[in-house]
Amino acid sequence: MEKPAKGMSLLVVEAGTPGYVKGRRLKKIGMHAQDTAELSFEDCRVPVKNLLGQEGQGFIYLMQKLQPERLVCAVAAQAAARRALEHTIQYCHERECFGRQIAKFQNTRFKLVEMMTQIEVSQSFVDRLVLEHAAGKDVTTETCMAKFWCTEMLKKVVDECLQFFGGYGYMLEYPIAKAYIDARVQTIFAGTTEIMKEVIARRTGI
C-alpha cells in the first residue's frame, strides 16, 4: 500500500461479536482502578454500519486527538503534583522529629518551596495552552512540551514528597505511596517523554 495512513478506518466492535475476545486482565504496577486487558480479533466480521466516520480517515481522526490527549495528561499531572504537595505539607506540620515539626527544618522548607514553585510555573504554561486550545489554535508543539514537562515534574515531586514520609511513605496505606506508584506511567502513556522530545525537535526544525 503506497499510503498506509490513508488505508485505516475506525470500527465500532460491539461486545458479543464473533471473533472478539476479551482476554486476561493485565497486572500493572499502579492505576489498579483502570482495567487494562488483552483484546483479540480473530476472523471478526463487523457490519458496514459500524464504521466510525469516513472510510480511510481513521489515522487522521486519531492524529487530530493527540493534541487534546497530551494536554489532558499535562493537566492531570499538574493536579496530581499539587495534591501530593498539599498532602505532604500537611504531614510535615503534623510529624515531629527531634522535638519539633519537620516543617520547621530549613531543608524541609526549602524543598517544599522549590516544589511549590515548579508547580506554579508549569501551571501558568498549562493554563495558557488550555485557553489557546479552546480557542482553536494549533498548539501541538507546546502540548508535547507540556506533556513531557509536567509528567516528569510530577515524578520528581512525588519522589521528593515521599521522602518526607520516611518509612511510612513506603506503606500503601498512605496516599503518597499510591501517588508515587501511579505517577510512574505518566511519562510513558500518550507518548513517552522521548517521543515528545522527538516530535518537538522535528516541528521546530532542530
Q: What is the pLDDT of residues 108-155, one digit of tens each?
A: 999 999 999 999 999 999 999 999 999 999 999 999 999 999 999 999
Q: Is 96 a catalytic residue?
A: no
Confidence of residue 4 (pLDDT cuts 50, 70, 90): low
Confidence of residue 5 (pLDDT cuts 50, 70, 90): low
Q: In this structure, which topology does domain 65-204 adopt according to CATH? A: Butyryl-CoA Dehydrogenase, subunit A; domain 3 (1.20.140)
The reply to whether domains 10-59 and 65-204 share a CATH topology is: no
For the chain, the domains span 10-59, 65-204
Listed residue (20, 10, 79) closest to 44, CA to CA: 20
Name the catalytic one among 69, 152, 160, 198.
69
CATH architecture for the domain at 10-59: Beta Barrel (2.40)
